[in-house]
Amino acid sequence: MLDKCNKCGSNKLFVEIQGQRRGLYCGECGKWQKWITKEELQIAKFNGLKIIENKEN
């Protein structure tokens, strides 16, 4: 599981759920990191990452 932004190195990452996809983004520079699996979402929740549910899609 990625824990740092691959652009700016910040550890302020968050997850945005877009329909069936879950994107990991940097909260500092906004850079998309990767799509994460259901399992990684569980890890993200455990680690206290912010989870945003985008219901627009």
Measured CA to CA, the distance from residue 45 to residue 3 in angstroms comes to: 13
Under the binding rule (CB under 5 A), the answer on residue 4 touching Zn ion is no
Measured CA to CA, the distance from residue 49 to residue 52 in angstroms comes to: 10
- How many residues at the interface with Zn ion, by CB under 5 A? 8
- Tell me which residues in 15-54 interact with Zn ion (CB under 5 A): 26, 28-29, 31
Note whether 18 and 38 are within 8 A (CB): no
Q: Which region among 3-11, 15-23, 34-42, 44-52 touches Zn ion (by CB under 5 A)?
A: 3-11
Residue at token pair 């399992």: 39
Q: Which residues bind Zn ion (CB under 5 A)?
A: 5, 7-8, 10, 26, 28-29, 31
